[in-house]
């Protein structure tokens, strides 16, 4: 800082600047100025600039009421705890540590400044949730389909599969009996019904194909329309080829 003024001792440099900034001269600097009139003139000229700047600032003072009103407006504009997270959430919780919620304060601040964008973001998220919700409910595993564990094919125990298959065969065959099918036809229909039931296909959806192939309706409702005696008789008759 020896560039401040030629011949100014380094130990007086801070005094020199402070004399300009605050208008106070230390004893040491005063002694230097006494011995250097040119330096005193330079310092006085710089001091005049500082005085002019301060006067300009003071003349521009808007008055005490201005600042009273300003501080009131500032405090009124601060978000309250009910408006959102106050600095409490992100305050220091100890020496050198800080709570991890400053991101939330920043997010809330952003929300307050750009409410339109923020609400648009909220609505977009809500829309995604609504669209994804039915899949979540219908997921076989009871969760989100993409994250559901692979449960494999053995959803039902093998014994239960057999029972279902037998019941399906009996129902289909019982429905076919009144149409006087031959033994071979009965076997073929039995095999087809078995495949349909075991593969999990919807029998009703394939009933039209069966109608085309066999020329008669084989809907499961036919079983319900049969009396108990007829059904027993049909089942007894079916026992012979099995």
Partner 1 sequence: MNLRATAGFIPLPTTPSEPAISVSQAAQTTKLAAPDAAAVPLTALVVRAQGGDRPAFAALVRELQEPLFFAVNRFTQNPDDARDIVQRTFLKAWTRMADLESPERFRSWLFSIGLNLARNHLRDSGKRRGDSVDDVVLAAQGADAVTQISDRQRRAWLRAALAKLPDKQRECVTLRIDAELGFREIGELAGCSEGSARVNFHHGMRRLRELMAEEEPP
Q: Which residues bind partner 1 (CB under 8 A)?
A: 1, 3-4, 13-30, 40, 43-57, 59-60, 62, 66-68, 70-75, 77-79, 81, 86-92, 98-99, 101-102, 105-106, 108-109
State whether residue 235 is helix, strand or coil: helix
Output the smallest distance, CB 61 to partner 1, in A: 8
Contact between 114 and 107 (Cβ < 8 Å): no
- 50/203 with CB nearer partner 1: 50
What the block records as the tokens of 214 is 């066999």
Q: How far apart are CA 159 and CA 167, in angstroms?
A: 13
- 113/183 with CB nearer partner 1: 113
**Cβ partners under 8 Å of residue 111, min gap 6:** 84, 118
Rounded to 10°, the helix 27-35/37-59 angle is: 120
* Long-range CB contacts (within 8 A, 24+) of 201-210: 203/168, 203/172
- 24/158 with CB nearer partner 1: 24
Q: How far apart are CA 52 and CA 212, in angstroms?
A: 108
Output the smallest distance, CB 115 to partner 1, in A: 15
Exposure string over 113-123, b if 16+ CB within 10 A, otherwise e: eeeeeeeeeee
Q: How far apart are CA 171 and CA 181, in angstroms?
A: 15
- 16/172 with CB nearer partner 1: 16
- 76/137 with CB nearer partner 1: 76
Output the smallest distance, CB 131 to partner 1, in A: 34
- 105/171 with CB nearer partner 1: 105
Output the smallest distance, CB 48 to partner 1, in A: 7
Q: How far apart are CA 51 and CA 115, in angstroms?
A: 47
Output the smallest distance, CB 109 to partner 1, in A: 5
Question: Distance between the two ends of the chain, CA-based, in angstroms?
Answer: 113
Output the smallest distance, CB 56 to partner 1, in A: 5
Q: What are phi and psi of 156, to 5 degrees?
A: -115, 140
Output the smallest distance, CB 7 to partner 1, in A: 15
- 1/145 with CB nearer partner 1: 1
């Amino acid at each position: 800082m020896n560039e401040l003024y030629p011949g100014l001792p380094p130990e007086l440099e801070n005094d020199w600047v402070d004399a300009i900034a605050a208008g106070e001269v230390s004893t040491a600097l005063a002694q230097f100025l006494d011995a250097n009139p040119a330096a005193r003139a330079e310092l006085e000229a710089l001091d005049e600039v500082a005085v002019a700047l301060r006067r300009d600032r003071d003349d521009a003072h808007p008055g005490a009421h201005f600042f009273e009103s300003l501080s009131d407006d500032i405090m009124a504009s601060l978000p309250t705890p009910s408006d959102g997270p106050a600095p409490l959430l992100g305050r220091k919780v100890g020496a050198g540590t800080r709570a991890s919620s400053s991101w939330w304060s920043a997010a809330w601040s952003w929300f307050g400044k750009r409410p339109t964008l923020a609400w648009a973001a909220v609505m977009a998220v809500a829309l995604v949730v609504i669209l994804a919700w039915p899949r979540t409910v219908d997921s076989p595993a009871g969760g989100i389909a993409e994250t559901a564990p692979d449960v494999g094919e053995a959803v039902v125990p093998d014994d239960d599969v057999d029972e279902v298959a037998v019941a399906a065969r009996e129902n289909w065959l019982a429905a076919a009996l009144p149409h006087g099918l031959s033994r071979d036809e009965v076997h073929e229909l039995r095999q087809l019904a078995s495949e349909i039931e075991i593969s999990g296909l919807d029998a009703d959806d394939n009933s039209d194909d069966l109608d085309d192939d066999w020329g008669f309706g084989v809907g499961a409702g036919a079983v319900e329309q049969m009396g108990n005696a007829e059904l027993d008789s049909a089942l007894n008759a079916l026992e012979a080829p099995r």
